[in-house]
Amino acid sequence: MIEIRIPKEIRTYKEKLFFGLTLRQLICTLIAVIVNVPLYWFGRDIIGADAASWVVIFVAMPLFLIGYFNYNGMTFEQFIKSVIQQEFVYPQKRKYITFNMFELLTTENKKEGNKRAVPKQKKRKKESKNS
């Protein structure tokens, strides 16, 4: 029986072009190969094989991250942009300031002398029981 994979969410579907890679992954892989193979061949004669291999790794890492990284549907560029905004652009500590309306009204009414806002208790005359 032939089985066909159907994605649960149609927006997450990515068309595979070559060797199961998307266009973005294929382009980044080709750029990494084109840059890093000559870099290693010519670099190992100048700085040595070990150092050249480390240089190739550090040059290839951003290219592969751009091509293959996906976090919560965000590409690498979108993820870096959101991290920079969260860490550097927007403030980290937010001040929570409360506004007590009751205290404000009572202090204003006491200053003005308004008797309606803060009612006083009426004094009752004590009736003597001896009468």
Q: What is the pLDDT of residues 42-99, one digit of tens each?
A: 998 899 999 999 999 999 999 999 988 988 888 899 999 999 998 888 877 777 888 8
Cβ partners under 8 Å of residue 39, min gap 6: 52, 55, 56, 59
pLDDT at 57: 94
Question: For the residues of 76-92, what is the DSSP string, one character each?
Answer: HHHHHHHHHIIIIIS-S
Whether 66 contacts 35, CB under 8 Å: no
Look at residue 106 in the predicted model and tell me its pLDDT. 85
Cβ contact 66:27 at 8 Å: no
Beta-carbon contacts of residue 106 (< 8 Å; ≥ 6 apart): 117, 118
User: Given this model, what pLDDT does residue 102 score?
Assistant: 86
In the numeric block, the tokens 């973005």 are attached to 24
Mean pLDDT within 29-47 = 92
Residue 122 CA to chain centroid, in angstroms? Answer: 61
What span, in angstroms and rounded, lies between the C-alpha atoms of 74 and 70? Answer: 6
Mean pLDDT over 7-22 rounds to 73
Token look-up 């840059």 returns 35
- Residue 60's pLDDT is 93
Whole-number average pLDDT of the chain: 81
Residue 116 DSSP SS3: coil
